[in-house]
């Protein structure tokens, strides 16, 4: 199957609220998909609600036809491990929910399928997909000449050692089947 960048929405997709970082000067929108660099974009001084960057609800703006949409997708196994480590570091008492309540994994936004987020952007026609890596924010910044000081990306990547490094791959592949399918049929700018 030829990879394409048309919006393909799985019928099982359950969209999540469509937030994004928008820059009216550059006419660029960075989709906010958890654990793909979205909090890094929001946390960068000079980007967070300043320098023409806004954290917006895309349903409240008519920008779908005039804006370049940037969607960053991440390997589902890596993304799950990142979310589990974030939850563990932020509140150890929450960890039991990861292992005892599959419903929690379906409700917590950090464990939702990336396809659920992508479904929000089906009306956009000018889309660039990027595949997550540790330097993804810097790469996007440089590619679109956004002029954000690259020093900021490095500080954001400093963190403590991961507690979890691997999960049952079969379980991940089953839970995130739609994400693996989406990634397989997507053409990425950086791969």
pLDDT value at residue 77: 94
Do 171 and 77 contact (CB within 8 A), yes or no?
A: no
pLDDT value at residue 75: 97
Query: What residues form DSSP beta bridges with 19?
Result: 57
pLDDT value at residue 120: 86
How many other C-beta atoms can be found within 10 angstroms of the C-beta atom of residue 91?
10
Q: Return the minimum-mean-pLDDT range out of 25-29, 41-45, 86-90, 113-117.
A: 41-45
Higher-pLDDT residue of 180, 65:
180
| Nearest CA-CA partner of 188 in 53, 25, 72, 22 | 72
pTM of the prediction?
Answer: 0.83
Compute the half-sphere exposure of residue 12: CA atoms within 13 Å on the CB side of its CA. 12
35 — pLDDT class (breaks 50, 70, 90): very high
**Chain-wide mean pLDDT for the chain?**
79
Rg (CA), the chain: 16
| Nearest CA-CA partner of 106 in 18, 5, 16 | 16
Structural domain boundaries in the chain? 19-184
Q: Is the dihedral of CA 174, 115, 142, 37 positive or negative?
A: negative
Highest mean pLDDT among 28-37, 40-49, 141-150: 28-37
Q: Return the minimum-mean-pLDDT range out of 14-18, 64-68, 79-83.
A: 14-18
Q: In sequence order, which residues have a C-beta less than 8 Å from that of residue 159 and are 6 or more positions away?
A: none
Structure tokens at 21: 């970082």
13 — pLDDT class (breaks 50, 70, 90): low
Cα 39 to Cα 44, 71, 74, 160: the distances in Å are 9, 14, 14, 17
* pLDDT over 60 at 22, yes or no: yes
């Amino acid at each position: 199957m030829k990879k394409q960048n048309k919006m393909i929405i799985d019928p099982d997709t359950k969209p999540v609220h469509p937030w994004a970082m928008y820059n009216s000067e550059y006419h660029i929108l960075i989709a906010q998909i958890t654990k793909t660099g979205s909090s890094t974009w929001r946390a960068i001084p000079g980007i967070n609600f300043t320098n023409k960057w806004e954290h917006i609800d895309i349903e409240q703006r008519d920008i779908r036809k005039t804006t370049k949409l940037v969607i960053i997708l991440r390997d589902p196994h890596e993304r799950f491990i990142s979310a589990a480590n974030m939850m563990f570091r932020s509140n150890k008492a929450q960890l039991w929910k990861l292992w005892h309540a599959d419903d929690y994994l379906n409700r917590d936004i950090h464990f939702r399928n990336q396809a659920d987020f992508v479904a929000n952007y089906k009306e956009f026609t000018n889309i660039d997909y990027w595949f997550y890596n540790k330097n993804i924010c810097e790469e996007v910044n440089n590619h679109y000449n956004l002029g954000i000081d690259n020093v900021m990306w490095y500080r954001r990547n400093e963190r403590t050692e991961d507690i979890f490094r691997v999960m049952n791959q079969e379980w991940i592949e089953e839970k995130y089947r739609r994400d693996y399918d989406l990634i397989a049929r997507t053409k990425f700018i950086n791969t």
